[in-house]
């Protein structure tokens, strides 16, 4: 079932890219199309929304937008072109909404033509995957992970790792460290975490969608990184959904409460819950290293970006309806695709923000 | 000799031959003639215009980075999107080195195969072998990349660990044997440019006038003597052209090499270390880049553009000089 939706989604995005090639001019033609194809579901509303941005939430967004079209008849074209490109398109107003894994900084927000809202949609976790055939249930903590990526820990049986894993037999294998070679929200999340747990990482490397890695091999995309992780002694970071789909082993990571927590949709939602106080003040607040015994420490939201004041009131109404639907019905689909649903408190915050769209 | 006498004689004859045609269907044929001239000139101009526009656009968008880093961009090795400090040397080195490695491997194999196919191979082998070579040229680059990741890189690992164990005193073979490396990049490029070098060289060697061959054999030359002497000498400029075409492909190749070269930072002399190329840096980073990083990437593209132009110009010069020398000798 999942395979099927993904396949259909890929086709849809291919069509979306072809159709949206010329921007707004194509809109009328698309509306004509959606009128006929929507015959299987609800009657067409005649409105078509377009969005562009992050690749990380693409599987769930394509599922949402399929289901939404069946339920409400409004077609949504989403192009997973990358967060950066999505923000550029939103800025140029060639799309109705953008999507990004990293929230916009204050400076970037000021550069947008008018006020932009961040709507967190789902949360994801970054997991540390490894390739040691005889090792199950590896445990790591933040400083150790940072030291590995700084090149200070070179072998798997290093005393620092052994100290965290009493009872495990670690091999005398050197690390083959994998990182993303392309800019990505995953890297943004992971380097932000390393910055938070290691002062040395903060001064030497810093955080961002792409950084100057001190050591390791770069792989393009999650699949490229997975390829490198599958080398002997491989170690790297990928999204939880990706690790699960590819059957990679991944480590439990020590959280703020001193507990080793395995990454999962539940422990990611727990992280969102643990960071609720900060998120209430600003939805852009990071949720890594959140409080709570069950919270997985390397987690983050992915956001839909929308203008508070949209040019076309009809589209504003359609987008509001879509986002309300996503909060109510969409969130329920998150776990089966291994995304973490938002805690109820955050859904309430989102509903308020969505209502303010005009 | 023949050419000279031909050049002297014809002008008058050609002019007189042209006259009657003009008089008979003056307006139409003239129109077609000049339309043809301007039409083709327009297409040729279009190519020039596109090239100039690409260069201009690259230069314009890279201006912020050019102002910020200047020529130092070409020689510094930091590529730090966090601090917005950029230098292109590791990428320039990676592009040149991987292409050089590719030529080092592909030229002897490619030219050797071409000689065998054109001169030595038994007839029944010629067609299937030529077909295989051309088939290699048609394989998409991402397929080469996948093969590289799944087959070549794991196969390289034991070889690399043997190298690093026995030859670590040589700086070329220092480091952990991870498979993904400059060596893997050069190797995959070599395989990818091999069919171009082979197929074109074979055609060029086949085009050597049979009289040359027969003369050499007539003088008692062996196969080896005939090939190394007259045949390869006449085919030389064509073979260099084939190598240049291969080199151009190697310099610009993106997908396959990105998948196996390891995308590491810094310019490392060791062939076992991960490296990076100009085109793979562009492919990797462009989608999520913003601000100064975009113009630094555009600057990289401008550098790549410059390198390909310089390499092509050098190749032209080489072929031109060789043709001139050959002309003199004859």
> What is A98-119 written as a DSSP string?
EEESSPPPHHHHHHSSS-EEEE
- When scoring A99, A218, A221 by the number of chain B Cβ atoms within 10 A, the one with the most, hence best to mutate, is A218
| E strands, B193-269, in order | none
pLDDT tier at A45, thresholds 50, 70, 90: low
Residue showing tokens 């790297």: A236
In this predicted structure, the answer to whether residue A238 has a pLDDT above a threshold of 80 is: yes
Asked if B176 reaches chain A (Cβ–Cβ under 8 Å), the answer is: yes
Distance of alpha carbon A190 from alpha carbon A47, whole angstroms: 38
pLDDT digits (tens, 9 = 90+) for B51-72: 999 999 999 999 999 999 999 9
Task: Please tell me the pTM assigned to this model.
Answer: 0.81
Least confident segment among B124-128, B226-230, B244-248: B226-230
Q: What is the mean pLDDT of residues A90-110?
A: 91
Binning chain B into helix, strand and coil, the percentages to the nearest 5 are: 80, 0, 20
H or E segment to which residue A75 belongs: strand A75-79
Strand, helix or coil for residue B55: helix
Asked if B98 reaches chain A (Cβ–Cβ under 8 Å), the answer is: no
Distance of alpha carbon A118 from alpha carbon A307, whole angstroms: 9
Q: Alpha-carbon torsion B213, B218, B223, B224, what sign?
A: negative
Mean pLDDT over each residue of chain A, to the nearest integer: 86
Are the beta carbons of A219 and B176 separated by less than 8 Å?
A: no
Q: Going by DSSP bridges, is the β-strand pair B85-86/B79-80 parallel, antiparallel, or unpaired?
A: antiparallel
Q: Which residues of B touch A220 (CB under 8 A)?
A: 258-259, 263, 283-284
DSSP symbols for A279-334: HHH-TTS--TT-SSTT--SSEEEEEEEEESS-S-HHHHHHHHHHHHHHHHTGGGGT
Please state, for a pLDDT cut of 90, what percent of chain B lies above it: 52
ipTM above 0.90, yes or no: no
pLDDT tier at B98, thresholds 50, 70, 90: very high
Asked if A194 and A183 count as a contact pair (C-beta separation under 8 A), the reply is no
Residue showing tokens 């005649």: A46
- When scoring B273, B288, B300 by the number of chain A Cβ atoms within 10 A, the one with the most, hence best to mutate, is B288
pLDDT of residue A36: 41
- Please tell me the distance in Å from B255's CA to the nearest CA on chain A: 10
Sequence-distant (≥ 6) Cβ neighbours of residue A182 within 8 angstroms: A210, A220, A221, A224, B283, B284, B285, B287, B288
Question: Torsions phi, psi of A120, nearest 5?
Answer: -65, 135
B150 to chain A: closest CA residue: A227
Smallest Cβ distance to B178: which of A88, A176, A212? A176
Tokens for B29? 């044929």
pLDDT of residue A28: 38
Measured from the Cβ of residue B200, the count of other Cβ atoms closer than 10 Å reads 20
Q: From the centroid of its chain, how far is CA B22?
A: 46
- Please tell me the distance in Å from A330's CA to the nearest CA on chain B: 27
Q: Which residues of B touch A231 (CB under 8 A)?
A: 153-154, 157, 178-180
Tokens for A335? 């776990």
């Amino acid at each position: 079932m999942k395979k099927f939706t993904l396949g259909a989604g890929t086709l849809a995005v291919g069509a979306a890219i072809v159709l949206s090639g010329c921007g707004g001019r194509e809109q009328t033609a698309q509306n004509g199309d959606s009128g006929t194809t929507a015959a299987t579901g609800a009657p067409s509303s005649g409105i078509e929304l377009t969005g562009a941005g992050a690749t990380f939430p693409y599987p769930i967004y394509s599922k949402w937008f399929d289901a939404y079209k069946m339920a409400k008849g409004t077609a949504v074209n989403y192009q997973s072109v990358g967060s950066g490109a999505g923000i550029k398109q939103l800025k140029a107003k060639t799309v109705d909404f953008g999507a990004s894994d990293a929230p916009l900084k204050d400076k970037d927000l000021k550069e947008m033509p008018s006020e932009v809202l961040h709507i967190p949609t789902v949360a994801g976790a970054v997991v540390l995957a490894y390739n040691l055939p005889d090792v199950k249930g590896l445990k790591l903590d933040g400083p150790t992970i940072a030291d590995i990526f700084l090149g200070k820990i070179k072998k798997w049986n290093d005393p620092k790792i052994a100290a965290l894993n009493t009872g495990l037999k670690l091999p005398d294998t050197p690390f083959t460290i994998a990182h993303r070679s392309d800019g990505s929200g995953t890297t943004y999340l992971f380097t932000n975490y390393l910055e938070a747990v290691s002062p040395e990482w903060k001064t030497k490397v810093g955080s961002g969608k792409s950084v100057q890695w001190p050591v390791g091999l770069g792989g393009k995309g999650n699949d490229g990184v997975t390829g490198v992780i599958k080398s002997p002694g491989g170690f790297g970071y990928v999204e939880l959904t990706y690790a699960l789909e590819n059957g990679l082993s991944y480590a439990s990571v020590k959280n703020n409460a001193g507990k080793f927590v395995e990454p999962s949709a539940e422990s990611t939602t727990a992280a969102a819950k643990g960071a609720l106080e900060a998120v209430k003040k600003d939805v852009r607040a990071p949720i890594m290293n959140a409080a709570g015994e069950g919270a997985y420490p390397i987690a983050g939201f992915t956001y839909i970006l929308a203008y508070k004041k949209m040019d076309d009131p009809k589209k504003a109404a359609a987008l509001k309806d879509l986002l309300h639907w996503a909060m109510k019905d969409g969130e329920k689909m998150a776990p089966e695709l291994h995304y973490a649903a938002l805690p109820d408190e955050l859904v309430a915050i989102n509903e308020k923000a969505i209502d303010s769209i005009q | 000799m023949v050419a000279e006498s031909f050049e002297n004689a014809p002008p008058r004859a050609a002019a007189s031959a042209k006259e009657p045609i003009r008089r008979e269907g003056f307006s139409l044929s003239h129109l077609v003639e000049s339309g043809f001239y301007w039409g083709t000139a327009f297409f040729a101009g279009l190519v020039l215009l596109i090239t100039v526009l690409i260069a201009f656009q690259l230069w314009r968008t890279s201006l912020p980075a050019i102002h910020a880093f200047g020529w130092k961009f070409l020689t510094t090795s930091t590529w730090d999107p966090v601090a917005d400090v950029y230098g292109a040397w590791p990428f320039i080195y990676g592009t040149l080195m991987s292409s050089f490695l590719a030529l080092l491997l592909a030229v002897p194999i490619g030219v050797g195969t071409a000689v065998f196919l054109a001169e030595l191979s038994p007839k029944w082998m010629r067609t299937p072998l030529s077909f295989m070579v051309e088939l290699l040229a048609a394989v998409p680059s991402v397929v080469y990349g996948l093969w590289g990741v799944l087959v070549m890189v794991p196969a390289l690992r034991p070889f690399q660990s043997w190298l690093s164990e026995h030859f670590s005193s040589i700086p070329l073979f220092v480091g952990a044997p991870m498979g993904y490396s400059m060596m893997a990049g050069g190797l995959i490029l070599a395989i990818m440019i091999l069919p171009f070098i082979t197929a074109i060289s074979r055609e060029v060697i086949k085009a050597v006038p049979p009289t040359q061959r027969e003369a050499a054999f007539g003088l008692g030359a062996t196969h080896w003597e005939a090939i190394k002497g007259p045949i390869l000498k006449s085919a030389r400029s064509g073979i260099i052209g084939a190598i240049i075409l291969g080199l151009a492909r190697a310099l610009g190749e993106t997908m396959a090499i990105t998948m196996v070269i390891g995308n590491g930072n810094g310019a490392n002399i060791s062939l076992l270390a991960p490296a990076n190329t100009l085109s793979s840096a562009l492919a990797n980073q462009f989608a999520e880049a913003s601000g100064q990083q975009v113009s630094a990437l555009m600057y990289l593209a401008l550098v790549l553009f410059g390198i390909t132009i310089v390499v092509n110009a050098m190749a032209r010069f080489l072929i031109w000089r060789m043709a001139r020398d050959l002309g003199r000798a004859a």
